[in-house]
Every structure is written in C-alpha cells, then in structure tokens.
Structure 1
Amino acid sequence: MREHHVRPAGLPPVNGYSHAVVFSGTLVAVSGQVPLAADGTLAGEDAETQVRQVFENLRTALAAAGGTLDQIVKITVYLTDLGDLGAFRRVRDEYLGTERLPASSLVQVNGLVHPGFRVEIDAFAAI
C-alpha cells in the first residue's frame, strides 16, 4: 500500500516529487548508487549517461532485494552541478514515471568520492 501526497494544502508546488508518501511493506534501504558500470568503469562523462547508469544500478540493487523501481518511496539525489538538474529530471521521469513519484531530497555537493562522478542517488523502497 502506498499513498502519495503530492502537494498537501499549505505546501509549495512540486516539480517531480511527492511531499509525503505513506507506505506499508518491507522497507529496503539502497546505498548511494554511483555512475559505475558492473565492470567498475565510469559510465560516461555527461550527466544524462551518468544518471541513467545510476538508475540502472538502483534497479539492479532493488531486484536483488526482490523489488522494483516502482516500489521506491524516497530518494536522495546528490549533484555536483545544479546545471545537471534538467538531465536528472528527464532520466528520472523515464525510470520512475510522472504519476506516483517518491518523496525526494536534492543536494548540491562540492564533490563525490570519485572526481568524475556527477551524481549519486540513494533510495528507500517498500516491498
């Protein structure tokens, strides 16, 4: 069971997330996923390619726990450049759709663990 509260009365407009998500089920925490392919190589230098790899890694991690991207209830996104926000949103919408988006936080950071990383995303899913 999931109940999305996209914009409860008294809260500002949203752009691609729900202010709150109520859920039941087994909670799965997925560590921050970075734009590395299965062989450990960096998946491109551009934001869109990196975000796509991160969502593929999220999909793989969730599948190992018996879940899917559709079951994500919360994500935290770390971007090194807010200029990449448009690319993030386009790819996010491809992977998560636009109807029942999870709660979300977005943080601009000075850097990530590898200087080539532009994005990292962690997630919670209710399975």
Structure 2
Amino acid sequence: MTTITVQPEGWAKPKGYANGILASGKVLFIGGQIGWNGAQVFETNDFIGQMEQALRNILAVLEAAGGSPEHLTRLTWYVPDKKEYLDNQKAVGEAYRRVLGYHFPAMTMVVVADLIEDAAKIEIEATAVLPE
C-alpha cells in the first residue's frame, strides 16, 4: 500500500487529521462502529469510553482484514451532542492516540440528531487501504 498526505500549498497545517490522503491498494470499508463491545454490550455510558471502544472496534475489523492503523485513510465521526465532543477535546485526542497512535487520516465530524442505538454517544465509520 502506498499513501501520500495531500496538503495544498499555503494552507495551515491541520491538527489531528489530514486534508487529503492519496492511496493505492485493496480498499476496506468499515461500517459505523459504536461504543459497544463485540457482544454488542455497552460497558460504559461515558463519551470518551464509548469513543475509545468504537475506535477499538474499528481496529479489530481492520486487523481481521490484515491491516493496522497506518492503513486507515478516512474516518467519519457522528455525534449527537456537539458540546459533549467539544468539552472533551483533550481526552478525545488522548484516547485516539491510545488506540490508533499518531496516524491521522482524513476525518470529518458530523453532528446528527440521534443515533439508532439509544445508548450510543458516538458512531465512527472508516475506510482503509491495505497492501495488494
């Protein structure tokens, strides 16, 4: 797999994400993951705990396909509570780095009216490109 971070000349450097990733290889689409474990049980009602579990779920699917965090090219985050996300920015970064390290793909954060699972506080979907 080959990836190149795309950063337009003159743009401010993004913090914690990339503006663009150019990649070649096998594409893996990971469906939206929420903060429950593999048995579909929520172990916490805490935003950061659920976010970290959702990222661990993404990592589990990625590893099952033979990939690792550096193969992630895109993450789309869905949160129903913008304030909860913004109030926890430092903890979000710490939890992200615990699970995925210092690899920052292209990312989008979307504030939504609600999530399908009533107890879910966040949902994250991912795209990865693995070596041929």
TM-score (norm 1): 0.88
Report the alpha carbon displacement of residue 17 of structure 1 after superposing the two structures with TM. 0.5
Count of matched residue positions in the alignment of Structure 1 and Structure 2? 125
Report the alpha carbon displacement of residue 33 of structure 1 after superposing the two structures with TM. 0.6
Q: Report the counterpart of residue 104 of structure 2 in structure 1.
A: 101
Q: Percent of pairs identical after alignment?
A: 26
CA RMSD of aligned residues (A): 1.6
Question: Where does structure 1 lack aligned partners over 5 or more consecutive residues?
Answer: none
Q: Report the counterpart of residue 41 of structure 2 in structure 1.
A: 41
Q: What per-residue deviation string (whole Å, max 9, x for no partner) do you get for residues 38-97 of structure 1?
A: 222113011111011101111111122111122100010011212224143332233233
Amino acid at match of 2:96: R
1:43–1:53 Cα contact (<8 Å) kept: no
Pick aligned residue for 2:96 from 86, 92, 98: 92
2:33–2:123 Cα contact (<8 Å) kept: yes
Q: Report the counterpart of residue 15 of structure 2 in structure 1.
A: 15
Q: Report the counterpart of residue 56 of structure 2 in structure 1.
A: 56
Q: Secondary structure at the match of 2:44?
A: coil
Question: Where does structure 2 lack aligned partners over 5 or more consecutive residues?
Answer: none
Q: Report the counterpart of residue 5 of structure 2 in structure 1.
A: 4
2:74–2:106 Cα contact (<8 Å) kept: yes
TM-score (norm 2): 0.85
Report the alpha carbon displacement of residue 13 of structure 1 after superposing the two structures with TM. 4.6
Amino acid at match of 1:89: G
Q: More displaced, 113-122 or 11-20?
A: 11-20
